[in-house]
Amino acid sequence: MKILVLGSGAREHAIILSLRSETAGHEIFAAPGNAGIAQDAHLVEVDPLDGSAVAAFANEHGIDLVVVGPEAPLVAGVADVLRERGIPVFGPGKAAAQLEGSKTFAKRIMDAAGVPTGRAVRAASLAEVEAAFDEFGAPHVVKADGLAAGKGVIVTSDRAEALAHAEHYLPSGAVLIEEFLTGAEVSLFFLSDGDTVRALTPAQDFKRALDGDAGPNTGGMGAYSPLPWLAEDHGSVEEFVAEVTATVAEPVIRQLDAEGTPFIGLLYAGLILTPAGVRVIEFNARFGDPETQVVLPRLRTPLSELLFAAASGTLEDQPQPEFSDDVAITVVLASEGYPESPQTGRMIEGLAEAASVEGVRVVHAATAGPDAPGGALIATGGRVLNVVATGSDFADARARAYEAIGRIRLDGGHYRSDIAARVAQ
């Protein structure tokens, strides 16, 4: 197949590596991609937010499938434009992408579909925020309604800090005040063609910037899969996945279909396993980053077949996706100052040494150059690289991931040292 992937992060690089590992031998294009993706796909100078430009490129080059990586093109309606023009696209239209684009929309859908989630109130003024804080008590959970690049949520017992966060986001609309939930967090992805649902396999993301879950929330500093402790608490991973499919994914997909806005693409359920049961803390309308980097290396079913079936309404004919028993871990290397004020433009060295560690892939998140032989590789964003290690057990995969990331040189670069520590003992 000829496949065009929209996006420029580690998630898109991981998707492309999976597509490339298939025996089918696809021709892969990426818009805009990054320096790592350039080694695995043809980079294309098309604005991923411009649906007409993407459609024109797809038609001109006979693209069989467009895979939308990030949320921004989805919320901008790029998938709608492609679908209207008969181009198979993996990614929901603008209306269904509101599941990620608006927290209040997501809550409404969950209420209508009977999906378990935290109690929340929408607050449009500081007085309403204060009233909700009084009702729920501390710690306070405040969520910006719209897309906020991972910065929209604050969880804090400091009421003044929570109020300041609400005050910052109120001018752009309402905020959501939610009850505080405790428990382990799990990310679970579902593919859908608008009707049929197919689950992938659970992963855990590390959202906070620093070891021990300290520091501010980030886009994600690392991940691992599978989650062995899930089997202890829920009988088996399969039972857990079946439960969440039946109580979360299928009702949401049915509800969106009933409202005339079918969800075609990847439904990301961010779950928290509270003592009272599984609760949804967020939905995303695309693959998670960095969870994708540990889920896809374990996927045995050809990814292109699943994505194409979802895009073309034939997921029902596909078998359940299968996963290997191997483990996968990813550690994110971030720029100095990430997430508050990442310092970009710095040189990265040592990638070849890192990639030479057995079972390790270096996936690029925000890199540019080298355009000329001998040119430098430069960090262009907050999360710069992901080191991904696979293996037969966590202690071994973890040791290799950290050996590899230790070989990479980026001035001021930082990473968490406790990714998957809990499962590696």
Task: Tell me how far, at minimum, the Cβ of 309 lies from ligand GLY, in Å.
Answer: 23
Please report how many Cα atoms fall inside a 13 Å half-sphere around the Cα of residue 359, on the Cβ side. Answer: 21
Identity of residue 160 = A
Does an H or E element contain 17, and which? helix 10-20
Of all residues in this chain, which one has the CB nearest to ligand AMP in the complex?
282
Q: What residues does 274 pair with on adjacent strands?
A: 277
- Sequence-separated (6 or more) residues with CB below 8 Å from residue 159: 133, 138, 140
Binding mask 217-236 for ligand AMP (x = CB under 6 A): x-------------------
CA distance 192 to 342: 35
DSSP assigned state of 104:
H
State how far Cα 386 lies from the chain centre.
13
- Residue 284 binding target from ligand GLY, ligand AMP, none, CB below 5 to 8 Å by type: ligand GLY
205 interacts with ligand GLY by CB under 6 A? yes
Give the position of tokens 């994505």: 307
How many residues in the shown chain lie near ligand AMP by CB under 6 A? 14
**Contacts (CB under 6 A) with ligand AMP, residues 145-164:** 153, 155
- Residue 46 binding target from ligand GLY, ligand AMP, none, CB below 5 to 8 Å by type: none
What DSSP assignment string belongs to 391-421? ESSHHHHHHHHHHHHTT-EETT-B--S-TTT
Between residues 274 and 318, which has the closer beta carbon with respect to ligand AMP?
A: 274
**Contacts (CB under 6 A) with ligand GLY, residues 239-298:** 284, 288-289, 291
Between residues 216 and 313, which has the closer beta carbon with respect to ligand AMP?
A: 216
53 interacts with ligand AMP by CB under 6 A? no
220 interacts with ligand GLY by CB under 6 A? yes
Rounded to 5°, angle at Cα 287 from 286 and 293:
165
- Residue 291 binding target from ligand GLY, ligand AMP, none, CB below 5 to 8 Å by type: ligand GLY
**Contacts (CB under 6 A) with ligand GLY, residues 357-386:** none
CA distance readout (Å), 129 to 110, 123, 148, 164, 404: 22, 5, 19, 11, 46
Binding mask 280-309 for ligand AMP (x = CB under 6 A): -xx---------------------------
Task: Tell me how far, at minimum, the Cβ of 153 lies from ligand GLY, in Å.
Answer: 11
Per CB under 6 A, residues contacting ligand GLY are 205, 219-220, 284, 288-289, 291
